[in-house]
Chain A
Amino acid sequence: MKFNLELIKNKRKIIGFSTILILLSLLGILYSTFNTSYKKPINLGMDFVGGNELRIERICKEECSNFSPDSVLENLRENSKNKNLLNNIKLQSQNNNKLISIRTPYLSIEESNNLISNLDNIIGPLNYESKDSRLIGPKLGKRLLTNSVTSLLVSLFAISLYITIRFDKKYALFALLALFHDLLIVFGIFSWLGIILSVEVNSLFAVSLLTIAGYSVNDTVVIFDRIRENLKSKKEGYNETIQLSVNESFRRTTFTSITTLIPLLSIILFGSYSLFWFSLALSLGIIVGSYSSILLAPSLLLKD
């Protein structure tokens, strides 16, 4: 099994493809900033803006009866002391009407308990053992957002520093380009997911970006190492040596990505719902990261 990626021939195509991906991501981010209800580059979830999220199961003998979310909401509003808080309430049902999920602006614990007991009266009985309730105050949300952005910047800075020390300028520059390319594309994909499917990002998304950064640089470092090593020892031309090095490390880069993707896929398939988007973001990051390490970063090194 020898791989023969024609890097030299396809340089333009690879760079073109990446440019398109980046433009699409930027388009998503711009569209999201100006043309959505939330006016942010990405649909910020409850962790960052505060609010109340409740998931709870109904106890049903056989099948859970149908209900209309609107009439339940109407009922909830009538029974609530604080009518204004319930203006922005969203209610969904999943699993054949069994699982109810509700989103509201921030509520106090007391208000949230009232909401649940009212819900119990309308479509109960509810199984309190299955409850998953999160209340985040707007102040904390802001703080989490600053925290996430800071940790992202700090770790990007640390990684950049590490690469600059370890490689000479040209290599460092391209490795970093590949890194920002990966992060931008994953960010862009989630901007689009926010626009189309109203997927929200929470603090775990920031974590996934950080992890992707570490992982993607790791792959690029290995390939650049190989290139450097081969440039010293091999007698072929500069471009050919780069292509050869990429083909030599192709197996190991794809294999390590696959072995990391397999556990992530099992979390996506079998794991708890709260880890679904997190694992998806990580998987996307690893796929984009391996692409940029194998194809994009070395192509940037090629001479015309």
Chain B
Amino acid sequence: MKRRQGWLFFIIFLLTLSVYLLINYPLQLGLDLQGGSQLTLQIIKEEGKVTRDELEAVNSVIDKRVNNLGVSESNLQTLGRDQLILELPGEQNPLVASRVLGKTALLEFRTQKEGSSTDLKTLQLQRLSIKELIEQYSFAEKSQNDDNFLKVIQDDLKDIERELNYSSTSNDLYGKLIEIKKYVDKEITNLFIKTDLSGKDLINAGRRQEQTNSNWEVLLTFSNSGGDKFAEITKSIAGTNQLLAIILDGESISEASVGNQFASTGITGGSATISGNFSAENARELEVQLKGGSLPLPIEIVETNTIGALLGSKNILKSLYAAISGLIFVGIFMILNYRILGFVSVLSLVLYGFFNLALYSLIPVTLTLPGISGLILSIGMAVDANVLIFERIREELYEGNTLTRSIDSGFQRANSSIVDGHITTLLSCFVLFLLGTNFVKGFAATLGIGVLISLFTSLNCSKTILRFFITYQSFRQKNLYLPRNNFSQ
């Protein structure tokens, strides 16, 4: 009798390897298990599909911004053709990331149209009064709804709207204030003419606190050619009443005059500062955006998931309970029905578990909740194959065949229907993996891997273990394989 010794050693080798892998390369846990935030960014393109190059370009800008933000252990990956997924582990607030990433951050330098000074002054004054209204509004919010105060703000806003000849469409007061501010910023932008200097000409950005007050300013450093362009532009308007505007995403954030002393050479030195009443936070966000460059296409944050760390560890514990109890109950069921054979299938299941997890750390597969449910579900499917084989063996035994022969032909005859039966499940997994979201992919991956490994463990491993058992005389009694009351049939 062959003990299939070769296979036995191979299986023991695989088991040792799996344990080694699991100890040295711990499993990667998804955010629903370790806590953290996940943002899905959608690239917006009005016409046509997002090309591979565009996706790459957006990816690299976002990557730079994330790095400059100083988010630790973040993970950015593309999903499909026009989405990116950003993962922020731990208790990091996704708000800052969303503010910094969501903006296109297209920086432009424009010079004022001649003869527009009066218009500009009016608009600047209006902008100032709206900013004041916004401040008053947040103050009124904090002081628990002073209705009279809000009414005053509302009336003031109406006055400004009348002056601008524009009526806002937002539903609530705060939305209206923001909308009007944007409108004014755009109107200001319209008074300026484009130059060929833009965010592309920057090589660095920084920030510092202004000396005279607590506001922050953002420092720009131009490339050589950018510095030349800047000098050229400033020279052209120096000493005139035309202003230089710095425009971010179509809205003017700062307008400045260039003194007469620069009329001969322009502002040289290749650097500039933007001081537009930035708070420390705003300045940092702008700095990060400018350092990363502008996005070639706008993006929108379409999904945000946040899971607390405590909930994550609870999820791990719950999944562990579910997996272990599932394994134990399946084991009990198998042993009750198939005796020694059941025990063999339990051993193969344990092997199955180790191989699966080792493969997850090798590929690597990030474990998520749906992934774990795929793994647990595949336990049931792994046993399926054993049930098929054992039923065949039972039939052979009932027909009066010897133990060895029954086992051999049981494995042989069940082979084709097992492989066959798993094909449809694999088909579903394949489709899910191709078309599914990130969340769904986890399930498809673990279930698919599980079904494949189960082909090896339930066919090969259980056969080898069984062969090993029956080399011992005491394991060769037929009633260890069949429930006794049915044996005399």
What are 8 A-to-B residue pairs whose CB atoms are below 8 Å? A84-B171, A128-B91, A131-B311, A134-B304, A137-B301, A147-B435, A218-B425, A275-B370
Contacts of B302 in A (CB 8 A): 136-137, 139-140
Contact of B305 among A133, A279, A282 (CB under 8 A): A133
Interface of A: prevailing SS: helix
- Confirm or deny: B98 has a beta carbon within 8 angstroms of a beta carbon on chain A: yes
- Confirm or deny: B384 has a beta carbon within 8 angstroms of a beta carbon on chain A: yes
In the complex where A113-B95, A137-B300 touch, is A82 in contact with B440 (Cβ < 8 A)? no
Which A residue's beta carbon lies closest to that of B306?
A: A133
Contact of A267 among B306, B373, B422, B447 (CB under 8 A): B373
Question: Is the CB–CB distance between A207 and B421 below 8 Å?
Answer: no
- Confirm or deny: A262 has a beta carbon within 8 angstroms of a beta carbon on chain B: yes
Q: Which B residues, 129 to 164, have Cβ-Cβ distances below 8 Å to chain A?
A: 141, 145
A4-12, A187-195, A249-257: which one contacts chain B? Answer: A249-257
Contacts of B437 in A (CB 8 A): 144, 147, 203
Indicate with 1 or 0, residue by residue over B428-451, a CB within 8 angstroms of chain A CB atoms.
110110111101100110010000
**The 3 A-B residue pairs with the shortest CB-CB distance in the complex, in nearest-first order:** A260-B380, A263-B326, A129-B310
- Tally A residues with Cβ within 8 Å of B: 71
Q: How far is the CA of A190 from the CA of B329 in the complex (A)?
A: 28
Question: Is the CB–CB distance between A255 and B376 below 8 Å?
Answer: no
- Rounded to whole Å, the gap between the CB of A77 and the closest CB of chain B is 11
Question: Is the CB–CB distance between B377 and A282 below 8 Å?
Answer: yes
- Confirm or deny: A295 has a beta carbon within 8 angstroms of a beta carbon on chain B: no
Question: Is the CB–CB distance between B380 and A259 below 8 Å?
Answer: yes
Question: Is the CB–CB distance between A221 and B420 below 8 Å?
Answer: yes
Question: Is the CB–CB distance between B387 and A252 below 8 Å?
Answer: yes
Question: Is the CB–CB distance between B311 and A140 below 8 Å?
Answer: no
Question: Is the CB–CB distance between B391 and A158 below 8 Å?
Answer: no
Question: Is the CB–CB distance between B436 and A259 below 8 Å?
Answer: no
Question: Is the CB–CB distance between A225 and B417 below 8 Å?
Answer: yes
List residues of A whose CB falls within 8 A of some B CB. 1, 56, 78, 81-84, 108-110, 112-113, 127-137, 139-140, 144, 147, 150-151, 154-155, 158-159, 162, 203-204, 206-207, 210-211, 213-215, 217-218, 221-222, 225, 251-252, 255-256, 258-267, 269-272, 274-275, 278-279, 282
Q: How far is the CA of A175 from the CA of B337 in the complex (A)?
A: 29
In the complex where A129-B309, A279-B373 touch, is A84 in contact with B303 (Cβ < 8 A)? no
Question: Is the CB–CB distance between A271 and B383 below 8 Å?
Answer: no
- Rounded to whole Å, the gap between the CB of A158 and the closest CB of chain B is 5
- Tally B residues with Cβ within 8 Å of A: 80
- Rounded to whole Å, the gap between the CB of B169 and the closest CB of chain A is 13
Q: How far is the CA of A144 from the CA of B42 in the complex (A)?
A: 13
B197-205, B263-271, B315-323: which one contacts chain A? Answer: B315-323
Q: Which B residues, 385 to 400, have Cβ-Cβ distances below 8 Å to chain A?
A: 387-388, 391
Question: Is the CB–CB distance between B35 and A213 below 8 Å?
Answer: no
Contacts of A203 in B (CB 8 A): 436-437, 439-440
Question: Is the CB–CB distance between B318 and A271 below 8 Å?
Answer: yes
In the complex where A84-B171, A109-B98 touch, is A270 in contact with B318 (Cβ < 8 A)? yes
Contacts of A206 in B (CB 8 A): 440
Contacts of A261 in B (CB 8 A): 380
- Rounded to whole Å, the gap between the CB of B160 and the closest CB of chain A is 19
Indicate with 1 or 0, residue by residue over B83-112, a CB within 8 angstroms of chain A CB atoms.
000000001011100110000000000000
- Confirm or deny: B456 has a beta carbon within 8 angstroms of a beta carbon on chain A: no
Question: Is the CB–CB distance between B326 and A222 below 8 Å?
Answer: no
List residues of B whose CB falls within 8 A of some A CB. 32, 35, 40, 42, 91, 93-95, 98-99, 141, 145, 171-175, 300-311, 314-315, 318-319, 321-323, 325-327, 329-330, 333-334, 337, 369-370, 373, 376-377, 379-381, 383-384, 387-388, 391, 417, 420-429, 431-432, 434-437, 439-440, 443-444, 447, 486
Q: How far is the CA of A255 from the CA of B373 in the complex (A)?
A: 20
Contact of B436 among A109, A127, A134, A147 (CB under 8 A): A147
Which A residue's beta carbon lies closest to that of B93?
A: A113
Which A residue's beta carbon lies closest to that of B381?
A: A260
- Rounded to whole Å, the gap between the CB of A3 and the closest CB of chain B is 12
Question: Is the CB–CB distance between A130 and B330 below 8 Å?
Answer: no
Contact of B326 among A134, A262, A282 (CB under 8 A): A262
Q: Which has the most chain B C-beta neighbours within 10 Å: A78, A144, A151, A266?
A: A266
Question: Is the CB–CB distance between A263 and B377 below 8 Å?
Answer: yes
Contacts of A211 in B (CB 8 A): 377, 425, 428, 447
In the complex where A147-B435, A151-B431, A154-B431 touch, is A263 in contact with B370 (Cβ < 8 A)? no
Contacts of A135 in B (CB 8 A): 303-305
Question: Is the CB–CB distance between A270 and B387 below 8 Å?
Answer: no
Q: Which has the most chain A C-beta neighbours within 10 Å: B305, B323, B440?
A: B440
Contacts of B175 in A (CB 8 A): 82
Which B residue's beta carbon lies closest to that of A251?
A: B391
Question: Is the CB–CB distance between B172 and A81 below 8 Å?
Answer: yes
- Rounded to whole Å, the gap between the CB of B383 and the closest CB of chain A is 4
In the complex where A131-B308, A261-B380 touch, is A214 in contact with B318 (Cβ < 8 A)? no
Q: How far is the CA of A211 from the CA of B447 in the complex (A)?
A: 10
Question: Is the CB–CB distance between B424 and A139 below 8 Å?
Answer: no
Contact of A78 among B145, B327, B381 (CB under 8 A): B145
Contact of B303 among A140, A255, A279 (CB under 8 A): A140
Beyond contacts A82-B174, A158-B431, A270-B318: 19 other A-B pairs, Cβ-Cβ < 8 A, are: A128-B91, A130-B310, A130-B314, A132-B311, A134-B305, A135-B305, A136-B302, A210-B432, A217-B424, A218-B422, A218-B424, A218-B425, A259-B384, A260-B377, A263-B377, A267-B376, A272-B315, A275-B373, A278-B370
